[in-house]
Amino acid sequence: GNSVTQMEGPVTLSEEAFLTINCTYTATGYPSLFWYVQYPGEGLQLLLKATKADDKGSNKGFEATYRKETTSFHLEKGSVQVSDSAVYFCALSETGNNRKLIWGLGTSLAVNP
Amino acid sequence: GAVVSQHPSRVICKSGTSVKIECRSLDFQATTMFWYRQFPKQSLMLMATSNEGSKATYEQGVEKDKFLINHASLTLSTLTVTSAHPEDSSFYICSARVQYGYTFGSGTRLTVV
């Protein structure tokens, strides 16, 4: 079945460091790919998405490129801030009528000043 | 944008009682609502998918008699945890599919004492 594998955390970085959170997937068909963020004490928010191969999603300085050849959707940011401290989830949307989301386990990021 | 309002945000109940969680779509019609459960430091686990006017589809291992889902209108879906026990303590999140992907409620922290 479809699945998402996400690098384990926690990840701890200093402010202005470069961030990469790896995400790979297995899926039939052509899923859409998402990164969601959950700030402490809050619900999930969509960070960015890509709907087809080679698409690049970007938002708030974060980027991820849909790589079909490597079945990956790695999240990157060139310079993290303390306010980026959160849990990041990679997810894919199945094709079909219900199109439910398949989730990675989440990666906790802590950015120190 | 599409907003799902989830209430309550926190609830503490006694073992054996029932708790109802509501999710309302404020500015759109939610044909399909997903209900998730999130354990500490883990990913979201899909519990069930509900379509307006029909019975919910439960994921394997989720007790449908314990977690009652009602989706009687296009703007309201409810999850009732019946005869709650401490092991039901968790973070419950609803989600609706929208044009650009999915929108999430802010979650309900349930503590059963």
- Which chain A residue lies closest to B108 (C-alpha atoms)? A43
Question: Which residues of chain A have a Cβ shorter than 8 Å from any chain B Cβ?
Answer: 32, 34, 36, 42-46, 49, 89, 93, 98-101, 103-106, 108
Say how far residue A62 (Cα) sits from the centre of its chain.
9
Q: How confident is the model at residue A89 (pLDDT cuts 50, 70, 90)?
A: very high
Q: How confident is the model at residue A40 (pLDDT cuts 50, 70, 90)?
A: confident
Q: What is the arithmetic mean of pLDDT over A77-83?
A: 97
Q: Counting Cβ atoms within 10 Å, is residue A22 exposed (0-12), middle (13-18) or buried (19+)?
A: middle
Residue A43 confidence (pLDDT): 78
Mean of pLDDT over chain B: 91
Separation in Å, CA A74 to CA A12, A31, B111: 17, 15, 35
CB pair distance less than 8 Å for A49 and B49: no
Residue A97 confidence (pLDDT): 58
Residue A100 confidence (pLDDT): 79
Strand partners, B4: B25
Q: How confident is the model at residue B80 (pLDDT cuts 50, 70, 90)?
A: very high
Separation in Å, CA A36 to CA A9, A55, B31: 15, 17, 22
Distance CA A113, CA A15 (A): 5
Distance CA A110, CA A34 (A): 21
Which tens digit of pLDDT belongs to each residue from B14-68?
999 999 999 999 989 988 999 999 887 677 889 999 988 888 999 999 999 999 9
| B32 has a chain A CB within 8 A of its CB | yes
Residue A55 confidence (pLDDT): 95
CB pair distance less than 8 Å for B43 and A98: no
Calculate how close chain B gets to A34, using CA atoms only, in Å. Answer: 9
